[in-house]
Homo-oligomer: A and B are copies of this chain.
Amino acid sequence: MRCVCVCVVVLVALGVRVNSFKFKELMDYVDKHQEEYVQTLRDWVSIESDSSDVTKRAELQRMMGVVEEKLRMMKGNVDVMDVGTQRLADGSIIPLPKVVTAEFGDDVNKHTVCVYGHVDIQPARREDGWATDPYNLTEIKGNLYGRGASDNKGPVLAWIHAVEAYKALDIELPVNVKFLIEGMEETGSNGLDALVEAQKDKFFSDVDYIIISDCIWKSTRPALTYGTRGNCYFSAQVEGPKQDLHSGVDGGAVIEPMTDLIGILDTLISASGQILIPGVADAVTNFTEEERKLYEQVGFNLETYKSTIGVDRLMYDNKVDLLAHLWRFPTVSIHGIEGAFSSPGTKTVIPAKVTAKFSIRQVPNMEPAVVEKQVTDHLHAVFERRKSPNKLKVNMIIGAKPWIADPKHALYEAGKRAVKRVFHVEPEMIREGGTIPIARTFQDVTEKYIIMLPIGGFDDGLHSQNEKISRYNYIEGTKLFITYLQEVSLIKEN
């Protein structure tokens, strides 16, 4: 919105709520329809839209179709946008799931927000240790358990239901709302960067603000998120014999790929959490006194966190250092090894080709391209010293940049007002250790202002067994989104 609605501003200045925002009516509508909302989430969770596993691609495509149809039924102006193809490890090429967009309203006198979300999920198998079927949303003590319930199907649906509530009650939307829903977020938003670039002066031309709800609170208090870490996700493959060998028949004769791989993985990070890859941490911005003070204000409780995740001791024993290492310092995680013996039982195998997956969460001002070179050079140098006849291949599969916003921007002030109205508390101002790969692209390419507005609980277990969203967060979150649209409409400057 380029002009200012004088009457609204005057009313707000006088402390009078705008008449057209029927808060109670909208809130009641949400309460009355909550069973329906839960059922829709159940339908969505039942679709195994795992973007990391190409054998599940048909399910993911089906998921995208369901989103498209849902938005069309709401009379949105729906479009599906091609984001190209994906080359698989075997060299074959398959189409990426198309991005679904929708527009509700095009009043030039209103602000326009774009809600970004994703409906692909991380892998989940019952035998990983789920108490319930990960694809059958199951309510236990007010929590809705299922893969994708919180990351990110629940929040996407809450946004859809927020718009739907206005429309069902025939209440005019206070802002124009656009949706941009993708299906490849969990593997690095393949193709989306190019789409944003291409749509900069089309789909994004009239967008004022971008809202992302692909994150969670840090405690039981609602929060607004003003930063995320990036993610450089690597594979390191060591290849030796042409096929697996027998550790009795061949053990002692061959230089085993697994020994080589373990050897190089052990040079990534120390027991005390120090990254050992030369140069990687050099670009990290200084931890300022101002930041330290902000962190001190966060109502994050170390004891609660320890008991939630079930550990006796954390890497740091005070809140500020811990939050700093979750939010603004990089770290290395080793996720696992593909190609070795990973089943229960015993197998006396010498695996021929083993591929480790590990990732580095990076922060301002680290650059993925630089990290890629540092990691690749380091691993090859370490491998070289082993004088192994095996072959090492290092690949950066995902290179997503970190993102940071100004928590004092009007978009955040609107967020504070909305949280206060729905939850009757001040939100916490937090950052996110995880990555929303597209956030930084939105910022750099569209130059729009971005807010992250989470509704997921701190203990939702994203990417883990028994992921859930609580019914409370899902339903009150829908109310928050409804209210936030109204609060955004009151922003004066653009």
Q: Which residue of B52, B129, B331, B397 is within 8 Å of A252 (Cβ)?
A: B331
Distance in angstroms from A57 CB to nearest chain B CB is: 11
Instruction: Scan residues 329-366 of chain A and give those whose CB is less than 8 A from a CB of chain B.
Output: 329-352, 357, 359, 361
Inter-chain contact A253/B326, CB cutoff 8 Å = yes
The answer to whether residues A387 and B247 also contact, given A334-B256, A348-B233 and a CB cut-off of 8 A, is no
When chains A and B are docked, how far (Å) is the Cα of A345 from the Cα of B120? 14
When chains A and B are docked, how far (Å) is the Cα of A310 from the Cα of B249? 15
Q: Which residue of B52, B256, B347, B433 is within 8 Å of A122 (Cβ)?
A: B347
Is residue A89 contacting chain B, with contact meaning CB distance below 8 A?
A: yes
- Contact indicator per residue, chain A 280-314, by CB within 8 Å of chain B (1) or not (0): 00000000000000000000000001000111111
Q: Which residue of B256, B259, B313 is within 8 Å of A255 (Cβ)?
A: B313
Chain B residue numbers with a CB within 8 Å of A361 are 247-248, 251-252
The answer to whether residues A266 and B269 also contact, given A243-B466, A309-B245 and a CB cut-off of 8 A, is no
Inter-chain contact A241/B311, CB cutoff 8 Å = yes
Instruction: Scan residues 217-275 of chain A and give those whose CB is less than 8 A from a CB of chain B.
Output: 228-229, 231, 233, 240-256, 258-260, 262-263, 265-266, 269, 271-273
Inter-chain contact A337/B336, CB cutoff 8 Å = yes
Is residue A53 contacting chain B, with contact meaning CB distance below 8 A?
A: yes
Inter-chain contact A388/B122, CB cutoff 8 Å = no
Distance in angstroms from A49 CB to nearest chain B CB is: 13
Is residue A181 contacting chain B, with contact meaning CB distance below 8 A?
A: no
The answer to whether residues A342 and B347 also contact, given A241-B310, A243-B466, A309-B241 and a CB cut-off of 8 A, is no
Is residue A446 contacting chain B, with contact meaning CB distance below 8 A?
A: no
When chains A and B are docked, how far (Å) is the Cα of A375 from the Cα of B158? 54
Distance in angstroms from A229 CB to nearest chain B CB is: 6
Distance in angstroms from A325 CB to nearest chain B CB is: 4
Interface size of A by CB at 8 A reads 101
When chains A and B are docked, how far (Å) is the Cα of A251 from the Cα of B228? 13
Is residue A191 contacting chain B, with contact meaning CB distance below 8 A?
A: no
Inter-chain contact B263/A248, CB cutoff 8 Å = no
Copies, count:
2
Is residue A389 contacting chain B, with contact meaning CB distance below 8 A?
A: yes
Inter-chain contact A463/B255, CB cutoff 8 Å = no
Instruction: Scan residues 81-127 of chain A and give those whose CB is less than 8 A from a CB of chain B.
Output: 89, 122-123
Inter-chain contact A340/B335, CB cutoff 8 Å = yes
Closest B residue, CB atoms, query A345: B52
Is residue A398 contacting chain B, with contact meaning CB distance below 8 A?
A: yes
Inter-chain contact B465/A244, CB cutoff 8 Å = yes
Is residue A170 contacting chain B, with contact meaning CB distance below 8 A?
A: no
When chains A and B are docked, how far (Å) is the Cα of A382 from the Cα of B123? 33
Inter-chain contact B247/A359, CB cutoff 8 Å = yes
Is residue A216 contacting chain B, with contact meaning CB distance below 8 A?
A: yes
Q: Which residue of B245, B309, B347 is within 8 Å of A250 (Cβ)?
A: B309
Is residue A316 contacting chain B, with contact meaning CB distance below 8 A?
A: yes
Chain B residue numbers with a CB within 8 Å of A388 are 271
Chain B residue numbers with a CB within 8 Å of A89 are 344
The answer to whether residues A254 and B315 also contact, given A233-B346, A265-B262, A310-B243 and a CB cut-off of 8 A, is yes
When chains A and B are docked, how far (Å) is the Cα of A129 from the Cα of B385? 30
Closest B residue, CB atoms, query A463: B246
Inter-chain contact B242/A309, CB cutoff 8 Å = yes
Is residue A494 contacting chain B, with contact meaning CB distance below 8 A?
A: no
Chain B residue numbers with a CB within 8 Å of A351 are 335-336
Inter-chain contact A434/B346, CB cutoff 8 Å = no
Inter-chain contact A273/B255, CB cutoff 8 Å = yes
When chains A and B are docked, how far (Å) is the Cα of A249 from the Cα of B193? 23
Closest B residue, CB atoms, query A309: B241
Inter-chain contact A336/B258, CB cutoff 8 Å = yes
The 8 A-B pairs with the shortest beta carbon distances in the complex, nearest first, are A248-B434, A242-B310, A336-B340, A52-B345, A336-B341, A342-B342, A313-B389, A252-B331
